[in-house]
Structure 1
């Protein structure tokens, strides 16, 4: 116990020194601003030489502070690891579980916050601070935009799944480049031949080739300037969460209602459903169940049928007490599962982009979403002076299409009178 207290005291002392170094860094930033003003006013060679000398001093001090901070941070991390190791030897299971969880979280953070990620956010912070100080990079200047490291892109993709309901259901393809992409989306059966014979090529006319473009989707995210002084962890959480959430909403809407290439969007499922797969029916199981037979996925019998519905429509039209007759001929009242909504065992997925009083049944892996590589963050040119906020822009490139529109059925729910 005494050793843990001693280590805790050391950590506290070193964090205090680290705070002093950070305060010195802020002082250097203030001096740098003053030097910029002096540089603008310098007229003679002597004045320029004096400014240059001061700039060199500031740069040297910055480098020295950077090395001291790196050494202190490494020492603090080592002490914290030693303290966690001592705490993990505590006798109670509760402490062990807690420490195991902390160690797992710490390992996950260490694996994510690599040097590449930290360099990216440090550069982003530097540019945001420059923008907040009124310094704007000229258009087209090298480095005016930042390419997100792959590990951050993957984190945004994972977080997109946290905020969407339809994105996880569709077939996703990641492709490089910005040219149009033509994919064979057929899942045809393989050909049997003698073991030494060549596999015959398919007739091109029998293939279903779909052309995909790459339309840009983006969101301007405002970052309060106080966050620029915060940790890389908090800046990453704030930025990736907001970019992922905004792109997620745009993708879910496009998957359902996208207006196609004319409006620089993916093609949505609902606009592409054939007329014969758009029907009206009453909100009764006996009227809705036969409509599932209209779903046509060709020769491919795999794929889960999912029901997509607006939340209000589900609770007002489907989630009610229903009387069934079991195998023994007895009436059985079935209560809806409000925690895990379903339609007679079929998964129900909510989407507020779904028109009310309509149901969409379908095999959603028959919708292909192409995600282009090169998600990026750049300076948006927007700065909200009154709110003391700086703006960045998160941008992705996607296209998508229902490659088999007959795999979906749109149902307009009407009452028994047909209204």
Structure 2
């Protein structure tokens, strides 16, 4: 049955790809329609200019142009109708296959193993012991029940079949069984320290989420008076599902081991990779193929072009909600008083009241040291059991934050949308020397602070808080940098032909020789560039639709006679 699900999923994905291609033709039809409207207006003007004195040759030319126009107009209508028919056919087929897939999913969704294990019988000669194992906190009975499921067994069997593959196997992408995904989601708190602090909302695809606006004030009246109508407004923000993931090395010895160990390794590796990326994105996501982070939102100095038109009003927070404390000369009491005031800038409006504060180990230890000075008896220290003193809120230690920075606020005001469907597939790279097979794991998320006013950034060492961080480079989706041959340098002979190449298939190379920055408006490379006597600097960039542009190549040549 799991194999049938995989086949149906692949077929649906392929049909959706075809459907998207057909939908993209709508823009082409719109362009053709506008061109026809322009031609029609021109022909109408030409017809109106015809008089009895107009030469027959000119009249014939206009008649011919009108006939061509009408033929083109009819061709457009025919093409549009054919495209609509094709789209309807694909939509119906997708709907039919999706219905079949949903029916299979429904039959396979057996109740998961109980999270409360059955109490084993106590032996008279030994005390009761509950045996627990590492596998996401599950008991041995729950582990056995999980890997005994048909869909999980089928999945693990196909994973083992990938061992030693040097190249990616076409069609070998595996959809992780839903029961394993549920385990991963339920245990994401083991890997992401922030996912339990914010609002996590599962969505099926790109979605608009309703957000309650300002709560109106009720109106006092006489007991028998008519009630006033209250207006409750709702804003909307749009969330998509950007993919997060990477390569997961699984030792071949584990692939050959028990089902429990294999499933444990896969989920643990996938969880660690995704968890770190989620935490960084919640705080620093730049909104480019990832969520918009809290620090990114607070640092905005003008309303972004992609701000949701139906979303809450954008407000400038880069001064009011990005703060710094100069601890020089402050007593511990004065320091904590200043910290409480700064953290209090975060507004609780529309939140559930729960707060979190993210900081690194050094920053946390600095707070603890000041707390010890504040109260030598240790009362405040004991009261700071991973919570912020006085202000309240959970302390979250994340060592990728800058020293002395604190970022946080009311977590429920950050919406993280989780798209369904993490996947695992064999990589085209195999670590034979280390005796490992490399898999890739992915999940999809998007999100943003719904109300930026609910968050604040504070540096406690009199420095500007750091609003950005470095994310793992998306090299797999970045065009390779062009290469120039022969390499830059000095050559004799009066002239030299320079060849530009790019390893990324289908990429176009644009270049300049005047020192300006190359882009898609510059000269398109289509053959060797001849450089002559003197100094010439070639700058080139490679561009491919759907990928990030390459880095810029700079190659300086000096040609002597």
Please indicate the TM-score interval, normalised by the length of the shorter structure.
0.5 to 0.7
CA distance in 2, matches of 1:231, 1:409: 48
Q: 1:106 to 1:395 in 2, by over 3 A?
A: same
CA RMSD of aligned residues (A): 3.0
| Gapped regions of structure 2 (runs ≥ 5) | 1-118, 219-228, 299-316, 328-334, 464-561
Residues 1:223 and 2:254 aligned together: no
The CA deviation at 1:184 is 1.0
CA distance in 2, matches of 1:287, 1:135: 59
* Matching residue of 1:98: 129
* Matching residue of 2:143: 109
Which stretch of structure 1 is more off in the superposition, 104-113 or 347-356? 104-113
Q: 1:207 to 1:187 in 2, by over 3 A?
A: closer
Instruction: Provide Cα deviations, 1:303-328, integer angstroms capped at 9, x if missing partner.
Output: 2222221111110244431436xxxx
* Matching residue of 2:480: none
CA distance in 2, matches of 1:373, 1:363: 26
Instruction: Provide Cα deviations, 1:191-218, integer angstroms capped at 9, x if missing partner.
Output: 99xxxxxxx9978xx4221111211111
Q: 1:100 to 1:333 in 2, by over 3 A?
A: closer
Residues 1:156 and 2:184 aligned together: yes
Q: 1:323 to 1:109 in 2, by over 3 A?
A: same
SS at match of 2:262: helix
Q: TM-score, normalised by structure 1?
A: 0.65
* Matching residue of 1:341: 386
Task: Decide which structure has the larger Cα Rg and report it.
Answer: 2
Contact 1:161 1:167 in 2 (8 A): yes
Higher helix share: 1
SS at match of 2:344: helix
* Matching residue of 1:59: none
| Gapped regions of structure 1 (runs ≥ 5) | 1-83, 193-199, 325-330
The CA deviation at 1:332 is 6.3
Higher-RCO chain (CA-CA 8 Å, sequence separation at least 6)? 1
CA distance in 2, matches of 1:351, 1:259: 18
* Matching residue of 1:118: 153
Residues 1:399 and 2:446 aligned together: yes
Q: TM-score, normalised by structure 2?
A: 0.49
Q: 1:186 to 1:167 in 2, by over 3 A?
A: same
Q: Counterparts of 1:263-274 in structure 2 under 5 Å?
A: 264-273=289-298, 274=317
The CA deviation at 1:286 is 1.2
SS at match of 2:129: helix
CA distance in 2, matches of 1:357, 1:101: 39
Q: Counterparts of 1:110-189 in structure 2 under 5 Å?
A: 110-113=144-147, 114-126=149-161, 128-129=162-163, 132=164, 136-138=168-170, 141=171, 144-177=172-205, 180-186=206-212
Q: 1:148 to 1:285 in 2, by over 3 A?
A: same
* Matching residue of 1:279: 323
The number of residues matched between the two structures is 301
